[in-house]
Structure formats: structure tokens, C-alpha cells
Amino acid sequence: MAGIVVFGAGGRAGRAVTVEARGRGHEVTAVVREPGRYPDLGAEGVAVVRGDVTDRGCVGAVAGGHVAAVHAVSPFSGPEQGFDSLDPDFFVKAADALLGGLHIAGVRRLVAVGLFADLLGSDGRPVMDDPVAFPPEIRPFALAHTAGLRRLRAEGDEAAVDWVMLTPAGGLEQGAPRTGRYRLGGERVPDGAHVLSYADLAVAVVDEIEGPTQHRTRVSVRPGV
């Protein structure tokens, strides 16, 4: 089947997408900054390559020949990392490189993994603006991620790359089982507590590659019924 290139394949979301894609018969190019750090990524049908999602030339080079790309890269592992090394323009640079590089490579579909923090709460404000619901110390990362979303949106409906950002509508649970069920929503956080497995997030990602339903927009993803 057609190949999928996964940027950030060494992270939790990227790994889950790689597993889901391979389970459906897709060849996967797993892009990471340092392949030597991920000896367990290589498997039948998975090619692990070095790459930088903020480099347009690199994106174009590794994406050529694939039917779609996934952006699951995060430069931030958690609050304990601190923000001294955080580039506030990281996600903007990634958006620019992906839009330009994928266009050059002839790859028309991009599925990006979003961040809960910039979904809208019941008051219509982003979750990250509520210090009770969202830890203030992580706000710089949330702002950087939101800037990347704005950059994608700035392309408008005429963008050469048909992108969608799938944003978990709550927590993400590693190791939780794959149910194969999920629900897509809008910009607001749905009522109730929602914890989505990484495996089911990956189902949604690959579904949007195989049969796109959302175009040049951001939607939330929550567990199915």
C-alpha cells in the first residue's frame, strides 16, 4: 500500500501512528532527529531515517513518494525539562517547512497532532488561559503550539497541502487498549472527562489519511461509544 512518512516517530503519538499504519499494510518512513536513539523503531515495513521537521529541504527529500505525512513532533517532553531550550517559533517553522516541503514533494495530505491546551473551554477561551485547568508553567509550550496552528490556518482554503490537526479532547493514555472507536468534534472541549488512548488517536490519524473527512481545519478527538 501507499507509504506514510511520520515526523516524530520516536514519540508516543508517532509510535502509535507507525504501529497503526503498519497494521493496515502501509509502508512507513519514520523520521527522527537521531536514529541511533531509537533502535527499536526499525521493523518490517518501517524505514527509520534522520530528519528535521523544521527544514523544508529535508521535509521534501524524505517525503517524496509518500501519499501522506504525519506531524507528531514535540520539542518538549514535560515541565521537568524547563524552557531554556524551547524555541517559541518551533511549530511555526515546522508548519512552514511542512507546507513548503510537502508541496515540493507532491504530497498532498498532512495530518498533525494537536494540543488540548488551545481547544476552547465553556467560556469560549482557550484552556491554557485557565490556570486551574492548565498548569501555567506549561503555557509557553502551549503558546508555541498555538502559533503553529495559526500558521497552518493562514494558508486559507487554497493551500496546496490539505492539512488537518487532530486534537485530543482531554488526556492521552499510553498503554491503553485500541478500541478502534473515536468521535470527532469541533473547537470546544466536550462536556465530561475524556481520556483517549494513543492507539485510538492513531486510528483517527490513519483514518484521515485513508479517507479524509476534515480539510484545512482543526478538530477535537475523544473516545467513541
**Is the pLDDT confidence value at 1 over 60?**
no
**Is the pLDDT confidence value at 76 over 90?**
no
Q: How many CB atoms lie within 10 A of CB 54?
A: 21
C-alpha dist (Å) from residue 55 to 5, 38, 203, 213: 15, 21, 28, 28
**Is the pLDDT confidence value at 79 over 60?**
no
**Is the pLDDT confidence value at 80 over 60?**
no
Tell me the three-class secondary structure of 78-130, residue by residue: CHHHCCCCCCCCHHHHHHHHHHHHHHHHCCCEEEEECCHHHCECCCCCEHHHC
Consecutive H or E run containing 62: helix 56-63
Q: How many CB atoms lie within 10 A of CB 175?
A: 8
- pTM attached to this predicted model: 0.95
Please answer whether residues 5 and 64 qualify as being in contact, where contact means their C-beta atoms are separated by less than 8 angstroms. Answer: no
Domains and CATH numbers, the chain: 4-223 (3.40.50.720)
Please give the single-letter amino acid code of residue 42.
G
**Is the pLDDT confidence value at 158 over 90?**
no
Average pLDDT on 219-223 reads 96
Question: What 3-state class would DSSP assign to 217?
Answer: strand
Question: What does the mean pLDDT of the chain come to?
Answer: 93
Give the C-alpha separation, 87 to 103, whole Å.
25
Query: How do residues 11-63 score in pLDDT, each as one tens digit?
Result: 999 999 999 999 999 999 999 999 999 999 999 999 999 999 999 999 999 99
Q: Give the pLDDT confidence score for residue 82 in this predicted structure.
A: 61
CA-closest candidate to residue 134, choices 149, 152, 115, 112: 115
Q: Give the pLDDT confidence score for residue 60 in this predicted structure.
A: 98
Q: Give the pLDDT confidence score for residue 128 in this predicted structure.
A: 95
Query: How do residues 175-191 score in pLDDT, each as one tens digit?
Result: 899 999 999 999 999 88
